[in-house]
Structure 1
Amino acid sequence: MKTVYITRRETFNAAHKLWREDWSEEKNFEVFGRCSNKNWHGHNFTIYVTVKGFPSEETGFVINLKDLSEIIKQEVIEPLDHKNLNLDVPFLQGMLASTENIVIQVWDRIKEPIHAAGGELVKIKLVETENNFVEYYGGKDIY
């Protein structure tokens, strides 16, 4: 059998602020720049979820994309879309709402539901701006 990789793209909009309470306003601005704006800032995020597996002999699918879309919508889009990531999202409470931290938390939320649907989560790419994105492979070194 041949391993196939399939990717689903979804989008959400959210606001956040990069800010450490234990730092001064000056230090926050020095490290985080405009992203530390006290009035927050927002992004139109795009998330790419890549799953691998063997195509089913019955359906030809690695995973039913309808199922994958539903998992992403339920576990990612609904909790994050049009939210303040620092204030409104329980699974991000107590941590800096960086794109790196967001993608790790998303991985932890969708890994098992994807496995239950027949796939293996391989990679999440979270695009914050056209110039900035994070790719996460579940903590595995890719070197």
Structure 2
Amino acid sequence: MIRITKIFTFETAHVLYNYDGKCKNMHGHSYKLFVTVKGNPINDLDDQKNGMVVDFGDIKKIVKSQITEVWDHAVLVNGVSPHRELGQDLEDKGHKVIFCNYQPTCENMLYEIADKIKKHLPGNVSLAYLKLHETENSYGEWFAEDQV
């Protein structure tokens, strides 16, 4: 079994409903996402992907279409909180708003990222690990073996 990792960056803002720290104000981050998948390298001379677990380009297509293109330069808003009205007002004024059904913390974003990526991986490849940096020294991690 081999694990391979691809790294992505995107800019996203979020606003945390009912948070009691200075991050209660809408703010953004330069997120850095590490996506690690695992599988056995293809062992078939006739396969164009021979020797690969999965083409890094295929991982890029999945993450780009499901996460980075969607969330980049958007505002994540807890759509099941009173902040829905704030998000609607921003959207009405032309801003890109993503209404989440959760508090848009790094931790909860990892759950959504994992769900979206897993649905699009080839059958012989599985998601092993995610790391999402909000800042250079603050990040959350998702491990497949921790999920029940």
TM range (shorter): 0.7 to 0.9
TM-score by length of 1: 0.81
Query: Whole-Å Cα distance in 2 between the matches of residues 111 and 94 of structure 1?
Result: 19
Whether 2:16 is the aligned partner of 1:13: answer: no
Whether 2:72 is the aligned partner of 1:84: answer: no
Given residue 13 of structure 2, which amino acid in structure 1 is its aligned partner? A
SS of structure 2 residue aligned to 1:105: helix
TM-aligned CA deviation for residue 139 of structure 1: 6.8
- 1:77-117 deviation line (CA, Å, top 9, x unaligned): 01110000114224xx231110000010110111021134x
Find runs of 4+ consecutive structure 1 residues off by over 6 angstroms.
none
- 2:106 matched residue in structure 1: 99
Aligned residues: 124
Does the CA-based 8 Å contact 1:115-1:121 persist in structure 2? no
Given residue 105 of structure 1, which amino acid in structure 2 is its aligned partner? E
The structure richer in strand per residue is 2
- 2:42 matched residue in structure 1: 56
Given residue 142 of structure 2, which amino acid in structure 1 is its aligned partner? Y
- 1:23-45 deviation line (CA, Å, top 9, x unaligned): xxxxx33xxx11101xx111000
SS of structure 2 residue aligned to 1:113: coil
Query: Whole-Å Cα distance in 2 between the matches of residues 137 and 79 of structure 1?
Result: 23
Residue of 77, 100, 108 corresponding to 2:115: 108
TM-score by length of 2: 0.78
Moved more, 106-115 or 40-49: 106-115
Percentage of matched positions with identical amino acids: 33
Given residue 54 of structure 1, which amino acid in structure 2 is its aligned partner? N
Does the CA-based 8 Å contact 1:104-1:138 persist in structure 2? no
Given residue 113 of structure 1, which amino acid in structure 2 is its aligned partner? H
